Amino acid sequence: MAGRQIAARIATVWCLLLVVGVGLPFVALDTSSVELYYSAGPVDPLLAGLLGICCAIVIAAASTERTEPSLAAGVSLSLMLFSLGITASWALSLDTELILSFPVDPLFQYHPLAVVLTALLGTVSVFWYSHSLQLV
């Protein structure tokens, strides 16, 4: 039982970190730059942030036994797999020149990679939660 609760909390944290990662350009850039940055890919990664919020809510509901844990694990795993696909397709389609054209720290060029890694680790943590329920 304790392992299940730890896995649920870690998965919730990674889902929320995905939301933070997607929202970071709103702090670092102006509005027109954010619009240009996020519209450069085939799918807007803000959708991945929305899915991350939904995933965190579903896992939190399961950890407090307000919903069936096996159902929540399946739904959250699906949500995070979609988030991973969205962020990966967006990051792979970005042009490096676009990222470097913004007047911010040069480390910002690694933001797409950080968002994809956060989605990947979120997916792994949700998989771990599913494994703690002995579903996979």
Whole-model pTM: value is 0.89
Query: Which residue pairs from 69-73 have beta carbons closer than 8 angstroms and sit at least 24 positions apart in sequence?
Result: 69/4, 69/133, 70/133, 70/135, 73/126, 73/129, 73/130, 73/133, 73/135
Q: Which domain holds residue 71?
A: 2-132
**51 vs 9: CA distance, rounded Å:** 17
104: pLDDT strictly greater than 90: no
Instruction: Tally the domains of the chain.
Output: 1
**93 vs 131: CA distance, rounded Å:** 33
82, burial (CB in 10 Å: exposed 0-12, middle 13-18, buried 19+): middle
Looking at residue 29, its pLDDT comes to: 84
The rounded percent of the chain whose pLDDT value lies above 90 is 57
The rounded percent of the chain whose pLDDT value lies above 70 is 99
Looking at residue 28, its pLDDT comes to: 85
Looking at residue 10, its pLDDT comes to: 94
